[in-house]
A and B are shown apart, each in its own frame.
Chain A
């Protein structure tokens, strides 16, 4: 490894960990993922999430989660995980006859 690569690796190690930010826009609604940021610890992450993602009145509650704590599905598994659902319309509850009083459910 040359010295530039060494410096790049060192800088990645020195960088603060990444956090995912979830903001709830109103009481009663869900927290929605809105972005990510770097922070040294949980307290800093919450404060910076507030500063970066709620400065235009976007929310009333914030969650932060260390990005490396999130377990994600592998994009390579997309075929077997999700494609088989394409032709299984019967899994949608659309085949019931509803009495007129409760229509438009």
Chain B
């Protein structure tokens, strides 16, 4: 690693945007790993499309975070030159993809969350963020439809597919608590109209997930006491591996462009 890392603006508005941008970035990076490995060619392309949508959202959000941060950082510097502790993504998106069932379940959970989030962010006091949300909400609606269909197809499919979906629920559900945990950064964003408190999305998210899981004939998991900590910068052991792959080029060839 031959390039120095950049410091990160700690103000609440920038942190709020980094949480969203990093969650999109890392989910996009994870989904990109499916490229060339999905069960069928058509789904391979579908997953790559979703991954690229997330990368596009991350680009817009990190650009805006850089502008608000006032240190002249652009999207690439923020994506590629931060230390692990400065990434603010929710932990659920950095977990390994697992099998296809785990992938579609995480996509369904995250697409539902993102769709609700983008709908609220369309009303943001920051016109730039509102415009990003207006575009992204259309992408998220499709992500939700596509992944929810898979949840139902596998959950209400064969014995084996239902077993895998239940295993995926056991693994992933506990990480959803972090998506609805609010703190001072949220309060600040809510107070100045930048965006909603994350805990305000919990009820509508649970209602939509319940409907999806009912249709899939899967049990709605109980609430978990566990709270993951990715959005405060404390990540799982998986994060370093993602970053070494994500950051390799910019660290090895500083400022390299196409």
**Which residues in A have some Cβ–Cβ distance to B below 8 Å?**
16, 37-40, 43-44, 47-48, 50-52, 55
Contacts and interface: CB of A to CB of B under 8 A. Distances in A.
Contacts, number: 29
A50 B146 CA distance: 11
B40 A16 contact: yes
A102 B42 CA distance: 50
A51 B149 contact: no
Given A38-B40, A40-B153, A47 B45 contact: no
A51 B40 contact: no
Contact of B43 (A43, A48, A50, A55): A48
Given A47-B46, A51-B42, A52-B46, 17 more contacts: A37-B42, A38-B41, A39-B42, A40-B153, A43-B149, A44-B149, A44-B153, A47-B149, A48-B42, A48-B43, A48-B46, A51-B45, A51-B49, A52-B42, A52-B45, A55-B45, A55-B49
A20 to B, nearest CB: 14
Nearest to B49: A51
Interface in B25-78: 40-43, 45-46, 49
Nearest to A50: B142
Contacts of B49: 51, 55
Contacts of B40: 16, 38
A47 B46 CA distance: 8
A86 to B, nearest CB: 41
Nearest to B52: A55
Interface of B: 40-43, 45-46, 49, 142, 145-146, 149, 153
Considering the complex of A and B, which 10 residue pairs feature the smallest CB-CB distances, nearest first?
Answer: A51-B46, A48-B42, A37-B42, A51-B45, A52-B45, A51-B49, A47-B146, A52-B42, A55-B49, A43-B149
A101 to B, nearest CB: 48
B36 to A, nearest CB: 15
Nearest to A51: B46
Interface centre among A38, A51, A52 (most CB of B within 10 A): A51
A50 to B, nearest CB: 8
8 contacts: A37-B42, A38-B40, A38-B41, A40-B153, A47-B146, A48-B43, A48-B45, A51-B49
Nearest to A44: B149
A48 B42 CA distance: 6
- B41, B42, B43 interface centre (most CB from chain A within 10 Å): B42
